[in-house]
Structure 1
């Protein structure tokens, strides 16, 4: 191998944009994970924050993040690039969060049916979050799951409305309308003396 071809193979992943990293990752994934790791590094913190806001606890959020990263690793070769990588990533995240949420809901129903106290586990999880985070989570608990996800994708993941609409399989105007209503509901809750 010549010196020039070795230099052409080396690159600094931090210097590449997402599209270039996706192309690199697709071509090198069998042999190396450098580009894939850079993509995950870029989105890891936001991905985790989205999951925590949606699921309400860090343990489940961490599990979902690991699952999302595995799905991206195995699915990157099939990623067609019709949407931005970021949109595709958050679409996977949204679906995994819904799956986890449903599992938790079934678990709570089972605990209720067995006359166990589901509050104990919830109190442990709440104790691990910070005060500000707890207040936001408490407010978001009063918003239905779809609207909560729109707010989380908008504020935590910082996605555009069209990207959110694509992820959630909704029309753009419906997404904007739900976003506006959810914000109004949150504002009303903040202004309410009972919260």
Structure 2
């Protein structure tokens, strides 16, 4: 008779690469989350930094990170591995950041339409620590798509093809927007009014 409680072969998740962890997580997720937790641990800080840079505040970034981790947990079984795990993860992150950004934009429009004084919200945001103030203040001068390209390139350290895949753009268009965004940032840095 075969024992159903037979011990699983132990492994050190830190010794495995992303592909091996994905395979393990897919087979383990009903029973254990060891491989999944290692995947999230590896990308947690960068994921948070990407969200903060895109959304502009830590509160929303934390919410989006939690949502991304849940989507990865529930979607990992369907991950086919056609792209790298890292690319898939940042694609989910990008989409969640856009969703959050749109929610905040609608909320601001609603406050304006209702003629409410958003002073209470402004005071709340003033109390938050300003992470990477210098880069964030420069990124506000770049449109949201170009800002995301810069964030994915510098913060997430993705290749141009990975960025193009995440943003559903052609490779040459991605590189062109990246180059123009860098040029705009350089002009901002050189400007005497900053």
TM-score bracket relative to the smaller structure: over 0.9
Distance 1:102 1:66 in 2: 18
State the Cα deviation string for residues 32-68 of structure 1 (Å, max 9, x = none).
0000000000000000000000000000000000000
1:193 partnered with 2:192: yes
* Alignment check: 8 A CA contact 1:68 1:96 kept: yes
What corresponds to 1:32 in structure 2? 32
Shift of 1:137: 1.1
Distance 1:90 1:58 in 2: 18
Distance 1:94 1:28 in 2: 27
Unaligned runs of 5+ in 1: none
Distance 2:170 2:106 in 1: 30
Equivalent pairs counted in the alignment come to 191
Superposition TM-score, scaled by structure 2 size: 0.93
Moved more, 147-156 or 107-116: 107-116
Superposition TM-score, scaled by structure 1 size: 0.93
State the Cα deviation string for residues 89-148 of structure 1 (Å, max 9, x = none).
000000000000000000000111122234652453254234x61221111111000000
Q: How does 1:71-150 map to 2 (within 5 A)?
A: 71-118=71-118, 120-122=120-122, 124-130=124-130, 133-150=132-149
Unaligned runs of 5+ in 2: none
Secondary structure, counterpart of 2:156 in structure 1: coil
Cα RMSD (Å): 1.7
Distance 2:56 2:94 in 1: 14
With over 3 angstroms needed to count, the CA separation of the structure-2 counterparts of 1:182 and 1:117, relative to structure 1, is farther
* Alignment check: 8 A CA contact 1:165 1:175 kept: yes
